[in-house]
Amino acid sequence: MPRPPSYDRDTALAKAVSLFWHKGYHGSSMKQIEQALDMRPGSIYATFGSKDGLFSEALASYAQQGGVDLSEHMAGYDSIVEGLQAYLRKIASSCTDVDCAPARACLIVKTLLEASSTNPALYSQAQSVLAAIETSFAELLESARTQGEIAAKTDCRRLARLLQSQIMGLRSMAERNLSATELEQLGDDMAAILESYRVRN
């Protein structure tokens, strides 16, 4: 009988996400990957096929967890607008934690910038992930519009793209080592954008 693998795939991917988030694709050597995942080279290649394969799965895992986090967060709010506003402030707050993987510059954005001229496949994957996130925001905003929370004339796709650009900018700004107060103020500013679309009863 073949021996069962001595690693947990999800754990390995979580470790890969952490490594790639800190060092990027090109900054992560195979030796560093072996050490981070605690796997031998043969096991890594047998499991993920290549460094590209591992990175692609890590990026997909990171994006999937982000989607789960958004869904779980929104489930705690009756108001979609208030839920999104709290989510934006939550992102701003998380950017003050240098040890928190989703904080600061997002792995997806880092990949987009790093792979744009060096790895078309990973660049395309990052583009697809960002497009899916934009769609998730747009669908939430469309529900808010249907429920009368935001103005009927709101272009939800455009607003979703604006919110996404604000989040990307916030995470880039966090690399400047702004204070917690300054980052939280930016979170409030993002929430104010949504407030400006809100219908007043």
Going residue by residue through the chain (201 aa), what tens digit of pLDDT does each one get?
A: 444 455 688 899 999 999 998 888 999 999 999 999 999 989 999 999 999 999 999 999 999 999 999 999 999 999 999 999 999 999 888 776 655 544 445 888 889 989 989 999 999 999 999 999 999 999 999 999 999 999 999 999 999 999 999 998 888 887 787 888 998 999 999 999 999 999 986
Predicted TM-score of the model (pTM) = 0.86
> 123: number of CA atoms within 13 Å, CB side?
8
Which pLDDT score, from 0 to 100, does residue 107 have?
87
Question: Can you say how many angstroms the Cα of residue 110 is from the centroid of all Cα atoms in its chain?
Answer: 10
Q: Give residue 50's pLDDT.
A: 93
Quick one: residue 24, left, alpha or beta (phi over 0 = left, psi -120 to 50 = alpha)?
Answer: left
DSSP letter, residue 198: B
